Amino acid sequence: MSSDHFLCLHADDNVVVARHSADTGSEFVSGGVSVSARQPIDMGHKMAISPIAHGEPIRKFGQPIGFATQDIQPGEWVHVHNVGLGELQNSAGVRPRCEFSTAVPTPPKMITERTFQGYRRPDGRAATRNYIGIVSTVNCSATSSKYIAEAFDETVLAKYPNVDGVIALSHKGGCAMEYGGVDHVQLSRTLAGFARHPNIAAYIIVGLGCETAQASFIADRFNLVQLEGIESDQTPLIMNIQDMGGVKKTVKHGIEVLNELLPEVNQVQRQPIPISEIMLATECGGSDGNSGVTANPALGIASDLLVAHGGTTILSEVPEIYGGEHLLTRRAISREVGERLMERIGWWEDYARRFDAHIDNNPSVGNKKGGLTTIFEKSLGAIAKSGSTALRAVYEYAEPVTEKGFVVMDTPGYDPPSVTGMVAGGANVVVFTTGRGSCYGCKPAPTIKVATNSPLFNRMVDDMDINAGTILDGDGTVESVGHEIFEKIIAVASGEQTKSEAQGIGDEEFCPWTPGPVF
């Protein structure tokens, strides 16, 4: 239900969402209900449309998102000043129990005729971009990696039109952790995931030599080899600065090696590849009150279309599933998959307790300014990115994704490490929704940015690829924007440049997540 100023998202809701900034006196009129705003309501924020007594649930999307901390009258602004998290309950006063596999969706009718123009690697994998990577094992080798990459500017690469670039995958960690421990293995898995990513045609590994994250450990533990077709002995080239004789000699040798690799990497040509080989990373960052109304559900439509074509879509940020996990466990193809998700939710609850924090301290400052009040509200909107198909698997951070269809990867709710994990898992395209205006981009996987509202899109038109705000404006629907996102995914996978790529964004966003202690 909607009026000129407000949207009611579900018949059971007792709040509506402002389509744009509404002045005092702006009316919501629908089904015999007429409510006037008692104060200005900013875009994406909520207004009560019925009396809500102290302690009663606030309902949005047909679900409780929090509880009134005071009596709220129709027409009043509903936000952090009069809403608390409380204990999530259903209408019977009981927290929703997680049911397992009780509402598994019927598999969609498969569509097989469409293709995208991608690169087919000799080992059979499908790529959407063609990069050379320089993998730093530790922060101590980051500068050397950067110097090597900087030698291959636009002038040099102009001779190799099929090479998208040389990227230094550097980071701030790599040492002061338990050798062979959880953090060491997770970092190594992430680095290995980028080294063998289909969008990385060839790579070198640059280390210092004395760090915990030894290059030999990464290569041996994850069976790294150079791609077939690259002239080498098929073993990854490892350069440790201490063994090479210092930074200058390491950089010189790295440049020489990459100059030898470039002609071979440039030999690839795009060819038709089934859409089933697109692996999509879905992310929302800088969210607002309209993220769960426009861009995220539209991305859910695109996710469903990709699954119908046999592809894979990944939902990340498990802390931002919190409060809505019961909706996903019902869609799990088995109890085992549902329980795996709940195990990860439990891990995050315990992780927060260890640091005297609370998993429900989300949303962020910007999220709240954009109208998001509680983590439950944020999670319900974030889950919409997953669409409506069955949950087929739950993966740990940066774990290789092998299942087709809709899956979850356990990542933090911070955008750079979240996307880093999904790309390490194999995602070859990213769709990133934002309501406040995130400027994120990623190499080697292209990132499509979707704005939740038209003011943001118009203000940051150089950064946003798609405007989901047309849904609020009445010029589009969730379904039409979902199809637009799907077609953009295919175009970008085929080589169309995204707005973030056009600005060269993505060299600094590589951000492996290591949650444990630093010794």
> Residue 305 and residue 490: Cα distance in Å, rounded?
11
- pLDDT confidence bin for 191, thresholds 50/70/90: very high
Output the DSSP codes for 150-219. Answer: HTS-HHHHTT-TT--EEEEE--S-SSSS-TTSHHHHHHHHHHHHHHT-TTEEEEEEEE-SSSSS-HHHHH
Q: What is the rounded average pLDDT of the residues 281-309?
A: 95
Residue 153 CB neighbour total at 10 angstroms: 11
User: What is the structure's pLDDT at 97?
Assistant: 67
User: What is the structure's pLDDT at 230?
Assistant: 57
Q: What is the rounded average pLDDT of the residues 140-156?
A: 97
User: What is the structure's pLDDT at 171?
Assistant: 97
Helix, strand or coil, per DSSP, at residue 116: strand
Q: What is the rounded average pLDDT of the residues 252-264?
A: 95
Q: What is the rounded average pLDDT of the residues 205-214?
A: 97
pLDDT tens-digit readout, 411-432: 999 999 999 999 999 999 999 9
Q: What is the rounded average pLDDT of the residues 123-147?
A: 97
pLDDT tens-digit readout, 388-419: 999 999 999 999 999 999 999 999 999 999 99
Backbone angles phi, psi at 193, to 5 degrees: -65, -35
pLDDT tens-digit readout, 349-358: 999 999 998 8
Using CA atoms, how far residue 241 sits from 169, 210, 247, in Å, is 16, 10, 6
Residue 339 has pLDDT above 90, yes or no: yes
Catalogue the E-assigned strands of 32-188.
Answer: 33-36, 46-48, 57-60, 63-68, 77-78, 83-84, 115-120, 126-127, 131-136, 165-169
505: amino acid identity, one letter: I
Alpha-carbon torsion (313, 316, 318, 322), positive or negative? negative
- The answer to whether residues 46 and 77 touch, using CB atoms and an 8 Å cutoff, is yes
Percent above pLDDT 90 for the chain: 84
166: amino acid identity, one letter: V
User: What is the structure's pLDDT at 232?
Assistant: 52
Residue 112 CB neighbour total at 10 angstroms: 11
User: What is the structure's pLDDT at 91?
Assistant: 43
Residue 234 has pLDDT above 70, yes or no: no
pLDDT tens-digit readout, 430-455: 999 999 999 999 999 999 999 999 99
Q: What is the rounded average pLDDT of the residues 461-481?
A: 96
Q: Who wins on pLDDT, 2 or 208?
A: 208
Percent above pLDDT 70 for the chain: 95
pLDDT tens-digit readout, 86-109: 765 444 444 456 899 999 999 999
Alpha-carbon radius of gyration of the chain: 24
Where do we find the tokens 């009396």? 51
**DSSP structural state of residue 430:** E
The bridge status of strand 312-315 relative to strand 405-409 is parallel
Q: What is the pTM of this model?
A: 0.93
pLDDT tens-digit readout, 161-184: 999 999 999 999 999 999 999 999
> Residue 219 and residue 223: Cα distance in Å, rounded?
5
Helix ranges (DSSP H) in 355-477: 365-369, 375-383, 415-424, 454-459, 470-473
